[in-house]
C-alpha cells in the first residue's frame, strides 16, 4: 500500500520504517537495507517534516541518534558527554550549503560579540546608553579552517580512562546510552591499557572500531572452511565481533581502532583547535589516522573529498565518505548543535557501492575454456555509478557459501570499475520455504553436454569442444585488445557471424569478405571495409599477442612474452616439451602442461594451420635493443606521470629487461610515485623500506638502472 499522497500517513510510515532499520543496524547488527537506501528514507522524512512542520514530532527518528541499547547481553552505559551523529552531504551542493551555514553562524556570532564590545567601550567612555556609538560595529564574518578526516565504515566507540587506566568501552547506542563492551574492546591490538605519566585524570576517547580488509578476508575464509555463513561486509563483521560473549572470539577477529574526538576530559590541558586534540591523543598512544588533513577553506575540503572518492580502494580498510570539522574549538562553541548533530561538522557521503535488490534468477554462462560461471539475474538497481541487472557469483562453492537463492533480497556491490557481485542475502527478508539453488549438471548450450568438476578444482567446466558458447567466447577473446586487437570485432558482431554460420573458430575471421559482412545488421560498405582492413592488419601482430590470443588455459600476456623470447617462433613452441617450456621465466610446470595439451588436440592443430594459410605471422618477436639495465628488477609505478602513460611506463621498464608488477612486495626494487598515487602502495613501500622515486628519478633509473644517489 502506498501513502505517498498523504503527508501525515507517509511520515508515520517512514518513521516506523526508520525505527525498524535503526534497531536492525544499531541494536542487532543485522541491517536489511544498504546505508544508501537508509539515507534515502531519512532524507525523504526530513523533507516532508520541513514542508509540513505541524506534522513533525519531537520523537521523530530525525531527532534521534541510532537505537537504544539492547541491554540483554551487555550492561547499559550512560555517556557523560553525548555521542552525537553527523548530518550528511550527498554532493558538493550540499557541502557548499553547509559551508555557507557555518559562515553565517560564525558571522552572526561575531556580530554579537562586536556589538557587545562596542557597548562596553561606550560605558567606559560614560556615553549614555540611549545615545548611539560614534563607531557602530559592523558584522564580521570570520573565516573557518577545517580538519578533514576519512569516514571509517565501522562502529562508533567511546573509551574511558581514569587515573591513566583503561576502565570502560561503550557503543554509541542512541547517543545517550550505549552498551558496555569493555572486555571485548580490551582485546584490540594497538589500544593502550595504560596511559603515559601526566595523562588527564579522566579522558574519554571517541573513535571507530573497524575490521581491515585483510582480516575480513581471513575471517570469511575461516568461515567457509568451517561451513559457516560468510559475513557480508567488514562493518557487519566488526559489529558482530564486538557482540561476542567470549572476548577470546573477539580477539581472533583482529579488530582495529582509529580515534577522532575527545569526550569527557578532567584535568587535561587546554586546547584551541581540534587538530591539537588529535596530536595530544597521539602522544598518549592512541592510533590517529595518518590521512587526516587541516585545510584553509572549503576548497580544501572539496579537494580532500574528491581525492578519497577516487582512491578509497587504495586503503587497507573501507571508508564510505569523508568528514569535515571546523578546527577552531571556540568557533564550535559558537555554532553549537541541533537536536542530533553538531553544526560544525558534516559527513560527505560517497556514492553508494552497495544496494539491496531482488535476485530474480541464477543462471550459468560458459566461457572460452568451458568454465561454467554462475551469475545473478537481478531486479535492476543503480549502484556504483551505473544500473546493474546482472552480477557475478564466481563459482559453485561461492553460491553455496553465500547461500543466495532466487527470490532472495540480496546485497549487490559494485566498486568503481569492478564487476558487480552479489555479497549475500538479507536473511531477515527471505521468504519462508525458499529452496536452495542447485548447480546444473548440463551445459546450457544446445548440445546439453555434461558439466564436469575435476577433483581439486573450484571450477565446473563443459568439456565438449563443439560447445557453441565456448566457440563464440574463444573468437571474442582472440579479437580482444590484449590479444590480436581487431578493432570493430566485438561481442555483438561475433554473435552475428556465429549465428550466420560465417565463423566456427578464430581462424575463420581471416577469410571474411566485405560482401559477407554486408549481410549482417548494422554493416554498410564503409564499416564492412574498415573491419576487413582491421582483420588484415592483425596478421602482423607480434608472437606474444598470437600466443595470448589462442586462449590456452593459464597462458597470459606475461608468460606469452617470456615464451616468445625463449623460442622465437610458434612452430618452436608447438614442438617444445613440457620440461623445456617449464624452465621459461614465469611459466612453470602447470602452464607448460596446459600448453602441450592444447597443441596436442587435433582441432587446435587444424586451426593453427588455417591461421598459417591466412598469413598470420608465427615468428614476429619484438626484441628490445635498449640496454638491459633493469634486468631482474621489479619497478612499480603508481599515480600519473607527465611524460609517460601507464602503458608507456610499463613498456619502458620491460624494454630494459625489468618487470612492472601491479603491487608492491619485498622483491620490489623501487616504487615510482606520480600525481594522485595509490595510498596503499606508498604505505607498503614505506613499511618495507623500498626506495621511492619521482618522475625525474624514474627517468634516471631508465638510463642507468641505478637508484639516484641521495645526500
- Lowest-confidence segment of 59-63, 475-479, 524-528 by average pLDDT: 59-63
pLDDT score, position 464: 86
Note the pLDDT tens digit of each residue in 596-652.
999 999 999 999 999 999 999 998 876 677 888 998 899 999 888 888 988 789 889
pLDDT score, position 431: 94
- Of 96, 95, 76, nearest to 86 by C-alpha is 95
pLDDT score, position 231: 79
**Three-class secondary structure assignment of 503-529:** CCCHHHHHHCCHHHHCCCCCCCHHHHH
pLDDT score, position 570: 95
410-441 core/surface letters (b: 16 or more CB in 10 A; e: else)? bbbbbeeeeebbbbbbbeeebeeeeeebebee
116 band by pLDDT with thresholds 50, 70 and 90: very low
pLDDT score, position 66: 55
pLDDT score, position 119: 37
Structure-block grid coordinates of residue 622: 619484438
Homologous superfamily, domain 146-349: DNA ligase/mRNA capping enzyme (3.30.470.30)
Note the pLDDT tens digit of each residue in 171-223.
998 888 999 999 999 999 889 999 999 999 999 999 999 999 999 989 988 88
Average pLDDT of every residue of the chain: 86
Judge whether 7-63 and 146-349 match in fold: no
> Residue 544 carries which DSSP code?
H
Q: Is 151 a catalytic residue?
A: yes
512-538 core/surface letters (b: 16 or more CB in 10 A; e: else)? bebebbeebeebeeebbebbbebbeeb
Query: What is the rounded CA–CA span in Å between residue 473 and residue 479?
Result: 10
Note the pLDDT tens digit of each residue in 534-566.
999 999 999 999 999 999 989 988 889 889 988
Q: Collapsing DSSP states into helix, strand and coil, what is residue 378? A: strand
Structure-block grid coordinates of residue 600: 596436442
Note the pLDDT tens digit of each residue in 327-336.
999 999 999 9
The domains of the chain are located at 7-63, 146-349, 354-452, 468-613, 634-704
Is it true that domain 354-452 has CATH number 1.20.1540.10? Answer: no
Provide the phi-psi class of 672: left if phi over 0, else alpha when psi is between -120 and 50, else beta: beta
Note the pLDDT tens digit of each residue in 39-95.
788 888 888 888 888 887 777 877 665 555 544 568 899 999 999 889 999 888 999
Placement of cell 501513502 in the chain: 3
Rounded to the nearest 5°, which phi and psi values hold at 180?
A: -80, 110
- Of 295, 279, 143, nearest to 306 by C-alpha is 295
pLDDT score, position 623: 66
Where helices occur in 500-601 by DSSP H, the ranges are 514-517, 525-537, 543-549, 557-567, 570-575, 578-582, 588-600
115 band by pLDDT with thresholds 50, 70 and 90: very low
Homologous superfamily, domain 634-704: BRCT domain (3.40.50.10190)
* Helices H / strands E in the chain, number of each: 24, 21
Query: What is the rounded CA–CA span in Å between residue 58 and residue 160?
Result: 31
Q: Collapsing DSSP states into helix, strand and coil, what is residue 462? A: strand
Percent of the chain at pLDDT > 70 equals: 90
Beta carbons within 8 Å of 26's beta carbon, 6+ residues apart: 66, 67, 172, 173, 174
26 band by pLDDT with thresholds 50, 70 and 90: low
pLDDT score, position 133: 44
Structure-block grid coordinates of residue 210: 573497524
Note the pLDDT tens digit of each residue in 240-271.
888 888 888 898 999 999 999 999 999 989 99
Assigned CATH for 7-63: 1.10.287.610
> DSSP characters for 287-308?
-B-TT-EEESSHHHHHHHHHHH
476-503 core/surface letters (b: 16 or more CB in 10 A; e: else)? bbbbbeebbebebbeeebbebbbeeebb
pLDDT score, position 595: 96
Class of residue 453 by CB neighbours under 10 A (exposed 0-12, middle 13-18, buried 19+) = middle
- Of 544, 556, 538, nearest to 484 by C-alpha is 538
Homologous superfamily, domain 468-613: 5' to 3' exonuclease, C-terminal subdomain (1.10.150.20)
Note the pLDDT tens digit of each residue in 663-677.
888 889 999 998 878
- Identify the H or E element spanning 410: strand 409-413
pLDDT score, position 125: 39
657 band by pLDDT with thresholds 50, 70 and 90: confident
355 band by pLDDT with thresholds 50, 70 and 90: confident
Beta carbons within 8 Å of 674's beta carbon, 6+ residues apart: 637, 638, 639, 640, 641, 642, 694, 695
Q: Report the residue count for the chain.
A: 711
pLDDT at 121 over 60: no
pLDDT at 338 over 60: yes
Longest dimension (CA), the chain: 110
Note the pLDDT tens digit of each residue in 426-465.
888 999 999 999 999 999 988 888 899 888 788 889 988 7
Other beta carbons within 10 angstroms of residue 455's beta carbon come to 4
The answer to whether 357 and 426 have CB atoms below 8 angstroms apart is no
Amino acid at each position: 500500500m502506498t501513502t505517498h499522497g498523504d503527508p501525515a500517513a507517509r511520515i508515520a510510515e517512514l518513521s516506523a520504517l526508520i525505527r525498524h532499520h535503526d534497531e536492525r543496524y544499531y541494536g542487532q547488527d543485522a541491517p536489511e537495507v544498504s546505508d544508501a537506501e537508509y539515507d534515502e528514507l531519512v532524507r525523504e522524512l526530513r523533507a516532508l517534516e520541513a514542508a509540513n512542520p505541524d506534522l513533525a514530532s519531537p520523537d521523530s527518528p530525525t531527532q534521534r541518534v541510532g537505537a537504544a541499547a539492547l541491554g540483554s547481553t551487555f550492561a547499559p552505559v550512560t555517556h557523560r558527554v553525548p555521542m552525537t551523529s553527523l548530518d550528511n552531504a550527498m554532493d558538493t551542493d550540499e557541502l557548499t550549503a553547509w559551508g555557507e551555514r557555518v559562515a553565517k553562524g560564525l558571522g552572526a556570532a561575531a556580530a554579537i560579540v562586536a556589538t557587545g564590545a562596542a557597548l562596553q567601550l561606550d560605558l567606559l567612555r560614560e556615553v549614555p546608553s540611549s545615545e548611539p556609538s560614534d563607531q557602530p560595529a559592523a558584522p564580521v564574518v570570520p573565516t573557518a579552517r577545517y580538519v578533514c578526516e576519512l569516514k571509517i565504515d565501522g562502529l562508533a566507540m567511546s573509551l574511558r580512562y581514569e587515573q591513566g587506566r583503561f576502565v570502560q568501552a561503550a557503543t554509541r547506542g542512541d547517543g545517550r546510552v550505549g552498551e558496555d563492551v569493555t572486555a571485548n574492546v580490551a582485546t584490540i591490538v594497538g589500544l593502550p591499557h595504560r596511559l603515559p605519566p601526566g595523562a588527564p585524570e579522566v579522558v574519554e576517547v571517541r573513535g571507530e572500531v573497524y575490521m581491515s580488509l585483510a582480516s575480513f578476508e581471513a575471517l570469511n575464509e575461516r568461515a567457509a572452511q568451517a561451513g559457516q555463513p560468510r559475513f557480508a561486509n567488514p562493518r557487519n563483521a566488526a559489529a558482530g565481533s564486538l557482540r561476542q560473549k567470549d572476548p577470546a572470539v573477539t580477539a581472533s577477529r583482529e579488530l582495529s581502532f582509529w580515534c577522532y574526538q575527545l569526550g569527557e576530559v578532567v584535568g587535561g590541558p587546554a586546547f584551541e583547535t581540534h587538530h591539537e586534540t588529535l596530536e595530544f591523543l597521539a602522544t598518549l598512544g592512541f592510533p590517529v589516522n595518518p590521512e587526516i588533513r587541516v585545510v584553509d577553506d572549503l576548497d580544501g575540503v572539496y579537494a580532500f573529498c574528491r581525492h578519497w572518492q577516487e582512491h578509497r580502494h587504495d586503503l587497507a580498510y573501507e571508508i564510505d565518505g569523508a568528514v569535515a570539522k571546523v578546527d577552531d574549538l571556540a568557533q564550535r562553541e559558537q555554532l553549537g548543535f541541533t537536536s542530533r548533530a553538531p553544526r560544525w561538522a558534516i559527513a560527505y557521503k560517497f556514492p553508494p557501492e552497495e544496494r539491496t535488490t531482488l535476485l530474480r534468477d541464477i543462471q550459468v554462462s560458459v566461457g572460452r575454456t568451458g568454465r561454467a560461471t554462475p551469475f545473478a539475474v537481478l531486479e535492476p538497481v543503480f549502484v556504483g555509478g551505473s544500473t546493474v541487472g546482472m552480477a557475478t557469483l564466481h563459482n559453485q562453492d561461492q553460491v553455496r557459501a553465500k547461500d543466495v537463492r532466487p527470490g532472495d533480497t540480496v546485497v549487490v556491490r559494485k566498486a568503481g570499475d569492478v564487476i558487480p557481485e552479489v555479497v549475500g542475502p538479507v536473511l531477515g527478508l527471505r521468504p519462508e520455504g525458499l529452496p536452495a539453488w542447485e548447480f546444473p549438471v548440463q551445459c546450457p548450450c544446445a548440445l546439453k553436454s555434461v558439466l564436469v568438476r575435476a577433483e581439486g578444482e573450484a571450477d565446473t567446466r563443459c568439456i565438449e569442444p563443439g560447445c557453441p558458447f565456448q566457440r563464440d567466447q574463444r573468437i571474442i577473446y582472440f579479437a580482444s585488445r590484449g590479444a590480436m586487437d581487431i578493432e570493430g570485432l566485438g561481442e555483438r558482431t561475433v554473435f552475428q557471424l556465429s549465428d550466420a554460420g560465417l565463423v566456427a573458430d578464430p581462424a575463420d575471421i581471416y577469410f571474411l569478405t566485405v560482401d559477407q559482412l554486408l549481410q549482417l545488421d548494422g554493416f554498410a560498405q564503409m564499416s564492412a571495409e574498415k573491419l576487413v582492413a582491421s582483420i588484415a592488419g592483425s596478421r602482423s601482430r607480434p608472437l606474444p599477442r598470437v600466443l595470448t590470443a589462442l586462449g590456452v588455459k593459464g597462458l597470459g600476456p606475461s608468460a606469452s612474452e617470456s615464451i616468445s623470447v625463449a623460442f622465437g617462433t610458434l612452430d618452436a613452441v608447438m614442438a617444445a616439451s613440457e620440461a623445456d617450456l617449464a624452465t621459461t621465466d614465469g611459466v612453470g610446470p602447470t602452464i607448460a602442461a596446459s600448453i602441450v595439451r592444447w597443441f596436442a588436440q587435433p582441432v587446435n592443430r587444424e586451426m593453427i594451420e588455417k591461421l598459417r594459410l591466412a598469413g598470420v605471422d608465427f615468428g614476429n618477436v619484438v626484441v628490445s635493443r635498449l640496454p638491459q639495465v633493469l634486468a631482474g628488477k621489479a619497478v612499480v609505478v603508481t599515480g600519473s606521470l607527465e611524460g609517460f602513460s601507464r602503458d608507456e611506463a610499463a613498456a619502458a621498464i620491460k624494454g630494459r629487461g625489468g618487470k612492472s608488477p601491479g603491487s608492491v612486495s619485498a622483491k620490489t626494487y623501487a616504487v615510482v610515485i606520480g600525481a594522485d598515487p595509490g595510498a596503499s602502495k606508498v604505505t607498503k613501500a614505506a613499511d618495507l623500506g623500498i626506495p621511492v622515486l619521482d618522475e625525474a628519478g624514474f627517468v634516471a633509473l631508465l638510463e642507468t638502472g641505478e637508484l639516484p644517489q641521495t645526500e
